[in-house]
């Protein structure tokens, strides 16, 4: 008889002390549990160390090859085989994967879902948070390389964007003992970044079962629905925060059915990213009328992506090529004239100057004459975003 799939919980987060506390709590609560941690702190010297621990402490460690100078590749290529060996040994009741500081849980969750089917069952995804560090983490525009947390030479991410994605992906946030006094504004900011997350203190007896149980799949099979988590982050179907205002922290939602003038928006980007520590969503450029674009900004850094076509740009027979969550989101937001095209951006931060952001965004839209000129004229407006969206390889 084959062994049952090994339950696996991912625990990540840039707040290392909170993350380690969460891992210790899980190991203490589940006899026979083991933790795997890939230390990438010496990746710049082509060294990655895998450490295996139980509730009593480290049991052993080993070096992992570094393919193509890519630390995340080493983690990906070693993680599933290491977990499968634990599953086949039959003595491990729970595998806790403690992700290194700047590793984002989405990538690892998708690796486990793709390569661990049958032998591994991802039952929980947790991001550990020191609630006293929320505002500082989201405001930090420092590059990971500058603080020794880059996963490779080409890792240009910042602290803020990495931390924001770690928090917003995980269904469960484990709150560690705060490093200093926590204000209501800290809690409000965390709540507005991820309104649907469940919070559990790592010292609460409810934390281990919440982390191990995860969220059930629609078919009742248990475990984490990785596809659903991805859909919640994808610009085409993202479950974006709603309007909020509490303890001096605000979230504003801006929606319009007219495209941006590419050159005016490009010129406004530095001011827009400076006005809120976090903003995200999808947007529509006049010179790319059929392309859905993703907006992801944190700590003054902005990433824009060509996500794919608007559904309105496709023949209806081709809609099945896109994920069902994307089609569902478009159907809820359909307009008789432009279909699902439009602007849907959300800005969050303490002391947010919402009126100024609205005015600035509005000034970047096509004016009445530009809009009336139509698609052929829009395509001649210039290509200010080419450097961001079509980089030369």
In this predicted model, what pLDDT tens digit does every residue of 44-75 receive, in sequence order? 666 788 899 999 998 888 887 766 666 667 77
Of 367, 102, 137, nearest to 258 (Cα)? 367
What percent of the chain is modeled with pLDDT above 70? Answer: 94
The boundaries of every CATH 3.40.50.300 domain in the chain are 6-224
The tens digit of pLDDT for each residue in 36-49 reads 999 888 766 667 88
Domain 244-389 - what CATH class?
alpha beta
- What average pLDDT does range 98-111 have in this prediction? 93
Q: What is the mean pLDDT of residues 226-242?
A: 89
- Report pLDDT for 77: 81
At residue 102, the pLDDT reads: 93
pLDDT 10s digits, 262-302:
999 999 999 999 999 999 999 999 999 999 999 999 999 99
Would you state the pLDDT for residue 216?
A: 45
Q: Which residues pair with 249 in a beta bridge?
A: 246, 350
- Looking at the chain, the domain(s) classified CATH 3.30.1220.10 span 244-389
The residues, any chain, with a CB within 8 Å of residue 226's CB and separated by 6 or more, are 109, 110, 112, 113, 122
- Where are the strands (E) in the chain, listed by range? 6-12, 33-39, 48-54, 57-64, 94-98, 120-129, 172-175, 198-201, 244-246, 249-256, 278-283, 291-298, 301-309, 343-350
Q: Tell me: domain 6-224, CATH 3.40.50.300, correct?
A: yes
pLDDT of residue 393: 47
Note the pLDDT tens digit of each residue in 122-159: 999 999 999 999 999 999 999 999 998 988 778 889 99
């Amino acid at each position: 008889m084959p062994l049952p799939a090994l339950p696996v919980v991912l625990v990540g987060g840039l707040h290392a002390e909170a993350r380690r506390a969460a891992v210790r709590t899980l190991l203490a609560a589940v006899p026979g549990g083991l933790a795997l941690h890939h230390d990438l702190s010496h990746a710049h010297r082509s060294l990655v160390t895998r450490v295996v621990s139980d509730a009593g402490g480290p049991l052993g460690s080993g070096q992992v090859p570094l393919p193509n100078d890519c630390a995340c590749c080493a983690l990906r290529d070693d993680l599933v085989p290491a977990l499968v060996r634990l599953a086949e040994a039959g003595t491990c009741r729970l595998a806790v994967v403690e992700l290194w500081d700047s590793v984002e849980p989405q990538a690892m969750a998708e690796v486990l879902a793709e390569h661990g089917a049958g032998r591994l069952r991802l039952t929980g995804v947790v991001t550990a948070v020191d609630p006293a560090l929320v505002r500082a983490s989201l405001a930090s525009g420092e590059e990971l390389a500058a603080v020794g947390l880059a996963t490779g030479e080409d890792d240009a991410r910042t602290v803020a964007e990495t931390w924001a994605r770690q928090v917003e992906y995980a269904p469960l946030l484990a709150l560690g003992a705060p490093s200093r006094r926590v204000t209501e504004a800290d809690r409000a900011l965390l709540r507005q970044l991820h309104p649907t997350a469940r919070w559990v203190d790592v010292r609460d007896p409810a934390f281990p079962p919440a982390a191990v149980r995860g969220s059930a799949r629609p078919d009742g099979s248990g475990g984490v629905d990785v596809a659903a988590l991805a859909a919640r982050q994808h610009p085409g179907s993202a479950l974006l925060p709603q309007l909020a205002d509490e303890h001096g922290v605000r979230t504003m939602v801006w929606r319009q059915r007219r495209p941006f003038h590419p050159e005016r928006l490009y010129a406004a980007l530095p001011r827009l990213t400076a006005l809120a520590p976090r903003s995200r969503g999808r947007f529509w450029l006049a010179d790319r009328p059929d392309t859905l674009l993703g907006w992801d900004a944190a700590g003054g850094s902005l990433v824009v992506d060509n996500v794919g076509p608007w559904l309105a740009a496709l023949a209806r027979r081709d809609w099945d090529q896109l994920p069902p969550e994307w089609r569902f989101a478009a159907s809820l937001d359909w307009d008789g004239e432009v279909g699902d095209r439009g602007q849907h951006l959300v800005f969050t931060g303490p002391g947010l100057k919402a009126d100024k952001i609205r005015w600035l965004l509005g000034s970047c839209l096509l004016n009445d004459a530009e809009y009336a000129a139509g698609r052929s004229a829009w395509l001649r407006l210039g290509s200010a975003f080419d450097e961001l969206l079509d980089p030369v390889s």
